[in-house]
Amino acid sequence: MLYDILQDEEFAVILKNHAIDIITYLFEKNQEFGVLVEISSVTFEPALPKNIYEQLPEFTLFLLMNYTYESARLEEGKLVFEAGFGAENFGSVVTVPIEAVLQIIVDETPIFVNLTASLAKKQQPKNSMEALLSNPENRKFLKKEE
């Protein structure tokens, strides 16, 4: 049953609209946030240098903070923002299709999970935590048990 729901186009549209609503709400509240995305669905303009692009994990967390947040907007079903990459802070406009957003994260906590993200048609991670942890940089978001 779950597989059928995850493959259902109508359910994918519901989740996409929900993600748009959440992002719109966060913009209205002036709340910085992060998005975990499948990097193969993202476009960069200008294109990132090969050495920088190849260092991005398959599932990448973009933190929309400071200037990146200020530049962010929703545009025709896509999240668009400017960001700097690599040691040289190479600037690029990042365009993320909303359906490629796996998670929306506020204060280190996922507030939205899209189980039908574009990778559902490809190789779905076993769970959202696996996707998050595929980037070693994201381990800092885990709370250490004392």
Domain span at 60: 2-137
Starting at the edge strand found earlier in the chain, the sheet holding 33-38 runs 59-64, 33-38, 101-106, 109-113
Local confidence pLDDT in tens for the 146 residues of the chain: 888 888 888 998 999 999 999 999 999 999 999 999 999 999 999 999 999 999 999 999 999 999 999 999 999 999 999 999 999 899 999 999 999 999 999 999 999 999 887 544 444 444 555 555 665 555 665 555 44
- Residue 142 domain-assigned? no
The secondary structure of 87-144 as a DSSP string is TTTEEEEEEEEGGGEEEEEETTEEEEE-TTSGGGGS---SSHHHHHHTSGGGGGGSPP
- Residue 143 domain-assigned? no
Number of domains in the chain: 1
**Encoded amino acid at 97, one letter:** P
pTM of the predicted model as reported, rounded to 2 decimal places: 0.78
At 146 the pLDDT is: 47
The secondary structure of 24-57 as a DSSP string is HHHHHTT--EEEEEEGGG-EEESPPPHHHHTTS-
- Residue 74 domain-assigned? yes
CATH code for the domain in which residue 89 is found: 2.30.30.220
